[in-house]
């Protein structure tokens, strides 16, 4: 984006009487960076539990077997699932906030969707040529964020002149969609015969069948983006940091990740898997990358 500028999620700010300047709200980048770090750690443990589990267990090494078993228990533990939901709420709300502060929202949305389409092309090709077991990503987190950002950008085009209207519109939409999802979609006896309908809601189709590699349907996640877009004009109506006294160099490494969200989301799994494969090849399963 400057980080999230690439994700449609930049944070601008500050004007003076003589000229407009742009300054990012540091705490938004910081929180986004924390979410990204937690995501990377979570996916690394997933690789322990799934990607490398078979090869590492086959070594008979008690420590490796224990590591895999612990990773599997972690992945399905209720505390981890609750923490994941909390992090997703924070991250997607921050995305919604950042769109409100961003310029060139349509361009950034298209950029995200382009990268998402590239992911679909690559994962589909890997499966087609037998290099993957079937983890195609047809509608993952970037697909959802790209579409959500585009929708927010369209709405904000008509409300941007009045922060109260902006807030009311997005929060009302969030509430309406929440009630629609809870009282109608999730209660309906849908047959789920058409898998691609899961793009709109898991209640309508089998998202695991349509996008097994990564699945983030529009409902309920766009609701969280709308909440962020609705809160931004209320919390950051001056478009300035709420914690100026804490500004400094101490958060720069984390904020860097928060600014480069799109690239981290895109590249973190190949990097993690590649690093673990090399470690496995040279130290854990000599001569075997541990991926088969």
pLDDT at 18: 35
Q: What is the pLDDT of residues 131-166, one digit of tens each?
A: 666 688 999 999 999 999 999 999 999 999 999 999
Q: Is residue 16 part of a domain?
A: no
What integer is the mean pLDDT of 226-249? 94
Interval 71-118: pLDDT, tens: 999 999 999 999 999 999 999 999 999 999 988 899 999 999 999 999
In this prediction, residues 164-191 reach a mean pLDDT of 90
Torsion of CA 239, 240, 243, 246, to 10 degrees: 140
In a domain, 11, yes or no: no
DSSP sequence for 84-149: HHHHHHHHHHHHHHHHHH-S-HHHHHHHHHHHHHHHHHHHHHHHHTTSSSS---SB-HHHHHHHHH
| Res. 16: pLDDT tops 50 | no
User: Does residue 58 form part of some domain?
Assistant: yes
- What pLDDT is attached to residue 132? 67
pLDDT band per the 50, 70, 90 thresholds, residue 205: confident
CA dist 72 and 146 (Å) reads 31
| Sign, CA torsion 179/206/120/258 | positive
pLDDT at 236 exceeding the cut of 60: yes
Alpha helices in 160-292 (DSSP H): 163-180, 207-210, 218-235, 252-259, 261-279
Under 8 Å between Cβ of 144 and 109: no
DSSP 151: H
- pLDDT of 248 over the 50 cut: yes
Looking at the domain assignment, is residue 100 inside a domain?
yes
Report if residue 9 sits inside a domain: no
Question: Is residue 19 in some structural domain?
Answer: no
Question: Can you tell me the mean pLDDT for 40-45?
Answer: 97
Report d(CA 213, CA 218) in Å as an integer. Answer: 16
**Counted domains in the chain:** 1
Mean pLDDT of 263-272: 94
Residue 127 forms part of a structural domain: yes
Q: Is 2 within a domain?
A: no
Q: Are 225 and 231 in contact (CB under 8 A)?
A: no
Range of the domain at 97: 24-235+243-284
Report which of residues 129 and 244 the model is more confident about: 244
């Amino acid at each position: 984006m400057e980080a999230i500028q690439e994700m449609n999620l930049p944070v601008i700010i500050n004007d003076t009487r003589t000229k407009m300047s742009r300054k990012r709200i540091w705490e938004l980048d910081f929180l986004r960076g924390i979410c990204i770090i937690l995501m990377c750690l979570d996916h690394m443990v997933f690789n322990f539990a799934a990607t490398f589990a078979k090869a590492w267990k086959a070594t008979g090494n008690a420590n490796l077997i224990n590591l895999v078993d612990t990773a599997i228990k972690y992945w399905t533990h209720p505390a981890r699932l609750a923490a994941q939901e909390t992090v997703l709420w924070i991250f997607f709300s921050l995305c919604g906030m950042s769109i409100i502060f961003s310029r060139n929202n349509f361009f950034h949305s298209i950029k995200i969707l382009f990268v998402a389409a590239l992911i679909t092309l690559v994962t589909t090709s890997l499966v087609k040529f037998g290099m993957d077991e079937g983890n195609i990503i047809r509608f993952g987190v970037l697909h959802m964020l790209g579409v959500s950002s585009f929708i927010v950008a369209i709405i904000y085009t008509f409300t941007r002149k009045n922060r109260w209207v902006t807030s009311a519109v997005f929060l009302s939409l969030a509430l309406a969609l929440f009630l629609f999802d809870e009282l109608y979609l999730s209660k309906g006896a849908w047959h789920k015969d058409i898998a691609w309908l899961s793009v709109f809601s898991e209640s309508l189709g089998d998202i695991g069948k349509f996008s097994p590699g990564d699945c983030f349907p529009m409902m309920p996640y766009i609701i969280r983006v709308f909440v962020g877009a609705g809160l931004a004009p209320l919390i950051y109506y001056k478009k300035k940091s709420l914690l100026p006294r804490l500004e400094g160099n101490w958060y720069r490494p984390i904020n860097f990740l928060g600014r480069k969200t799109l690239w981290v989301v895109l590249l973190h799994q190949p990097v993690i898997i590649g690093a673990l494969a090399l470690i496995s090849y040279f130290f854990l399963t000599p001569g075997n990358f541990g991926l088969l």
